[in-house]
Homo-oligomer: A and B are copies of this chain.
């Protein structure tokens, strides 16, 4: 696929936010700038490689900005650009919807996994997060 025209704005959004962790990264940056390591700790289960790869892509796409403090050992922070801010805003209703239907969706996903005949390891439920994310 080498096309660059979108049937619907959603396609365009997906072109930017497509990637397992990107929505989460944008979400967490909506609360202000963060260091790489902070993001790694807060975006549960990302591998270092994926985090950095996605951060680089989001930076290249102008969604976030990389601020290098030129220190040694390295100190780098990321923050949303205006472009990224506007995206994050539009993400909010969706996030709220997801939070609101959290339990229902969890049930759906569990059902799917049951049907795929795999074992489910239930985790202690964590309370759904608000928008914007806590400081």
Contact = CB atoms under 8 A, between A and B. Distances in A.
A93 interface: yes
Interface of A: 1-16, 23-24, 27, 43-45, 57, 60-62, 83, 86-87, 90-91, 93-102, 104-106, 108-113, 115, 118-126, 128-129, 131, 133
A118 to B, nearest CB: 7
Contacts of A119: 2
B24 A123 contact: no
B90 A96 contact: yes
Given A9-B102, A91-B94, 9 more contacts: A8-B98, A8-B129, A9-B94, A9-B98, A10-B24, A12-B99, A13-B98, A61-B112, A90-B94
